[in-house]
Amino acid sequence: MRKLKATIVSDKMNKTRVVEIVRLKKHPRYLKYIKVTNRLKAHDEKNAYKTGDVVIIQEIRPMSKDKHWEIIKKLENSK
């Protein structure tokens, strides 16, 4: 199962958080690095995490049409 580092950008849904993953991708022709962001929905059973928290998410079985990730833990002093 994959584990990724992500930042929570929305906590408006019940038991679901929208997280954003930022990575750098190299352009094939110009060889510059471009920032690419992915937004995913992650399960949060106890509604414990809030917007701005940096968390570790883990891939799980599909819980709904869009939700395939679960929040494992919050990273402390992540700045």
**Other CB atoms within 10 A of residue 6 CB:** 23
Contact 78, 54 (CB under 8 A): yes
pLDDT band at 9 (very low <50, low <70, confident <90, very high): very high
Q: Which CATH superfamily is domain 1-42 in?
A: Nucleic acid-binding proteins (2.40.50.140)
Residues 6+ apart with CB under 8 A from 64: 41
The residue ranges of every structural domain in the chain are 1-42
DSSP string of 21-62, one letter each residue: EEEEEE-TTT--EEEEEEEEEEE-TT----TT-EEEEEE-S-
What are 13-41's pLDDT values in tens digits? 999 999 999 999 999 999 999 999 999 99
